[in-house]
Amino acid sequence: MRLVAVDLDGTLLNSSHKLSQATIEAVAHTRTAGVEVVLASSRGVGCMRTIVRQLRLFDPAEFISAQGALTGSLDEVGVLRVFDASRIPLTTARQVAALAECAGLSVGWYCGSDWFVPRLDEAVERESAAVGHRPVVRHPADIKRQPEKLLLMGSPDRLYELDPIAEALPDGLTAQSSLPHYLEITRSGVDKGTALARICRVRGIDAADVVAIGDGPNDLALFDFAGISIAMANAPESVRAKASMVTYSNDDDGVAAVLEILIRA
């Protein structure tokens, strides 16, 4: 094992979106053993800063952000260094944002360390509280930077709202689900697995020496790439069925448990 790629929400973080002390210590032990740890999240960079700081995964440690659309690193004062990015054309992004708003969905626009929303509503406030980061209110027409991803948030009790948007996406875009009521919109060909493959190629790490840990459908691309894939007990059955093995839930320090076993092995 030379590299571990691990998802954040529902995997590394507990249900309160926090890191346990056991997890912090297990990540530190893994790195001391000479194994690289790569955070692989659908979160934007700004929403990953606190986690990077707590785990001390500073530059040159690399992370995967925005569902694989951006890979980069943060230094100790939070300055972002981008290694690779795939961005949605500005006109196309505005088109998708308009469709989503007309459907009554909340829209998050992620570019670099910034997170923009057209308005603060219940879904945005819920997401902000979960990730510990506040967005900037700005209408898509006033944003001049191409986003790495758009996050469309529906109501947990009205999942059908997302289907028409996913089906009406312009050519060149893809939609992936991180939660049942979340659609992560990126350019086609973008996913966590593709980003992880690029990191490993640069480092000369074979897929057989990679472990991937996740809980969501958007982590399956990581599973497809890695030599060993580990699902959380709290993952849906469709995700657990694709994994090499299953560990404890995110509320039972499942990542910490499996990392300690892998290090000893």
Question: Could you tell me the pLDDT band of residue 173, with boundaries at 50, 70 and 90?
Answer: very high
Residue with tokens 């406030």: 125
Q: Which of 143, 166, 187 is the last residue of a domain?
A: 187
134-148, 176-190, 218-232: segment of lowest average pLDDT:
176-190
DSSP string, 98-132: HHHHHTT-EEEEEETTEEEESS--HHHHHHHHHHT
Let me know whether 153 and 196 are in one domain.
no
Q: Which of 159, 187, 215 is the last residue of a domain?
A: 187
Q: What are 80-114's pLDDT values in tens digits?
A: 999 999 999 999 999 999 988 888 889 999 999 99
Let me know whether 200 and 225 are in one domain.
yes
DSSP string, 35-73: -EEEEB-SS-GGGTHHHHHHHT--TTS-EEEGGGTEEEE
Let me know whether 96 and 75 are in one domain.
no
24-33, 171-180, 210-219: segment of lowest average pLDDT:
171-180
Q: What is the pTM of this model?
A: 0.93
- Please say if the pLDDT value at position 45 is more than 90: yes
Tokens of 77: 């004062």
Domain carrying residue 204: 3-85+190-264
pLDDT at 154: 82
Q: What are 202-260's pLDDT values in tens digits?
A: 999 999 999 999 999 999 999 999 999 999 999 999 999 999 999 999 999 999 999 99
Question: Could you tell me the pLDDT band of residue 161, with boundaries at 50, 70 and 90?
Answer: low
Let me know whether 110 and 57 are in one domain.
no
Let me know whether 182 and 198 are in one domain.
no
- Dihedral angle sign, alpha carbons of residues 144, 150, 153, 159: positive
- Please say if the pLDDT value at position 159 is more than 60: no
Q: How many distinct structural domains can be found in the chain?
A: 2
Let me know whether 94 and 183 are in one domain.
yes
Let me know whether 179 and 135 are in one domain.
yes
Let me know whether 97 and 160 are in one domain.
yes
Let me know whether 106 and 17 are in one domain.
no
Let me know whether 28 and 143 are in one domain.
no
Element (H, E) at 149: strand 149-153
Let me know whether 230 and 181 are in one domain.
no
CATH of the domain at 77: 3.40.50.1000
CATH of the domain at 162: 3.30.1240.10
- Please say if the pLDDT value at position 186 is more than 70: yes
pLDDT at 228: 98
Q: Which of 137, 164, 187 is the last residue of a domain?
A: 187
Let me know whether 97 and 176 are in one domain.
yes
